[in-house]
Amino acid sequence: MNIDERNAIYNQAKEWVFTAGKNIRAKIDDPLVIDTKSNPNDLVTTMDKETEAYFVEKINQEYPEHHIIGEEGYGDKLTTLAGTVWIIDPIDGTMNFVHQKRNFAISVGIYHEGIGEIGLIYDVMNDILYHAKRNEGAYKNEAKLAPLKQDVKFEEAIIGMNHFWLCENRLVDEKVMQQFVRKIRGTRTYGSAALEFAYVAEGIVDGYLTMNLAPWDIAAGIVIVNEVGGVTTDIAGVTLSMLEKNSVFTCNASLQHEIIQFIEKGRK
Ligand code: IPD
Ligand code: CA
Ligand code: CA
Ligand code: CA
């Protein structure tokens, strides 16, 4: 993918994201049809499906040779990241969308031969687009995001994570995680993985730790966080696969080693 091609795809993707966002805002007070997926708290609405179907239709029309991975299944069943792949979460934070009508995002990551080239995370209700192209910096609307501070101390870190880390879980001894939350300065839970990545990139939280995310939750976020010098791996420090679910730790690079070492003490 050359720079001109990438710019054209980026501009097109941005336009579709804004149009999809506008449609969601216009219908935000319409009655919702809500279904559940893997469990009673795993929600999906007609708006999730409509939004993904919109992207898939547009991409197939404009770029028939591109591939699509989408949460709601309108895309392709891919076993490789060869070529250009759009990785789409039409609404990230569906629970927030349903219960709060805010704090959700459209997330679009565009990868070429496995490398993240474009990341778009659109906070729909606040009309804020976090966006990046590889090696060209990250932006919040028109403002360029500063490189992350390189001297954040463990004791002063705010980490995005939810309460499940403090309950018995399959990944890490909860006692170690209880020590962890006492050691850091504070925790935050926003309920949208994409927005948590955006907040790491913005430097308003120092890391985001999560047990089980799919490629569409993180594809855009990784590109954006990379551009400000952040790093993303699983909780053991291993590079993530964009074709399967992973535990995820994205953070300010100055914290990565120390936090991974800490978690390692309780990792199962
Ligand atoms: C979910 C959100 C949530 C995270 C879940 C994701 P969805 O995505 O990102 O914050 O904790 O693991 O599945 O289903 O609302 O797109
Ligand atoms: Ca979902
Ligand atoms: Ca999601
Ligand atoms: Ca979703």
Q: What is the pLDDT of residues 40-65, one digit of tens each?
A: 999 899 999 999 999 999 999 999 99
- The answer, yes or no, to whether any atom of ligand 1 lies below 6 A from the CB of 92, is yes
Q: Ligand 1, atom 15: nearest CA belongs to which residue?
A: 93
Share of the chain above pLDDT 70, in %: 100
DSSP structure string for the chain = --HHHHHHHHHHHHHHHHHHHHHHHHTTTSPP-EEESSSTT-EEEHHHHHHHHHHHHHHHHH-TT-EEEETTS-S---S---SEEEEEEEEE-HHHHHHHS-S-EEEEEEEETTEEEEEEEEETTTTEEEEEETTS-EEETTEEPPPPPS---GGG-EEE--GGGGS--SSB-HHHHHHHHHHSSEEE--S-HHHHHHHHHHTSSSEEEEEEE-HHHHHHHHHHHHHTTEEEE-TTSPPPPTTS-EEEEEEEHHHHHHHHHHHHTTB-
- pLDDT of residue 132 exceeding 90, the answer is yes
Instruction: Decide: 193 in ligand 1 pocket, CB within 6 A.
Output: yes
The structure tokens listed for 86 are 């759009």
Closest atom, ligand 1, to C-alpha of 216: 16
Give the pLDDT mean for 177-190. Answer: 98
Q: Are 55 and 14 in contact (CB under 8 A)?
A: no
CA of 70 to the centre of ligand 3 (A): 10
Instruction: For the domain made up of 154-264, give the CATH fold.
Output: D-Maltodextrin-Binding Protein; domain 2 (3.40.190)
- Measured from the alpha carbon of residue 192, the closest ligand is 1
Which residue CA neighbors atom 16 of ligand 1 most closely?
92
Nearest in space to 10 (alpha carbons), one of 135, 185, 126: 135
Distance 146 CA to ligand 4 centre (A): 28
Q: Which atom of ligand 1 is nearest to the CA of 91?
A: 16
How do the domains of the chain map onto residue ranges?
Answer: 3-144, 154-264
Q: Is residue 94 within 6 Å of ligand 1 at its C-beta?
A: yes
Average predicted confidence (pLDDT) for the chain = 97
Task: Give percent of the chain with pLDDT exceeding 90.
Answer: 98
Q: Does the beta carbon of 192 lie inside 6 Å of ligand 1?
A: yes
Alpha carbons within 13 angstroms on the beta-carbon side of residue 29 total 0
Give nearest CA residue, ligand 1 atom 12: 213
Report the distance separating Cα 71 and Cα 216, nearest Å.
Answer: 6
Mean pLDDT of 80-96: 97
Decide: 247 in ligand 1 pocket, CB within 6 A: no
Q: Which CATH architecture has domain 3-144?
A: 2-Layer Sandwich (3.30)
Helix 253-264 to helix 174-183 angle (10° resolution) is: 140
Within a 13 Å sphere around the CA of 147, how many CA atoms are in the beta-carbon half? 8
Tokens standing for 83?
């070529």
123 within ligand 1 shell (Cβ under 6 A): no
For ligand 1, say whether the CB of 70 is within 6 Å of any of its atoms: no
Structure tokens at 7: 């710019």
Q: What is the model's pLDDT at position 43?
A: 87
155: confidence class by pLDDT, cuts 50, 70, 90: very high
Quick one: pLDDT band at residue 83, thresholds 50, 70, 90?
Answer: very high
pTM of the prediction?
0.97
What is the per-residue pLDDT for 74?
A: 95
Does 96 contact ligand 1 (Cβ within 6 A)? no
> Cα separation of 268 and 266, whole Å?
6
Q: How far is the CA of 94 from the centre of ligand 1 (A)?
A: 7
CA 256 to ligand 4 center in whole angstroms: 27
Least distant ligand from the CA of 220: 3
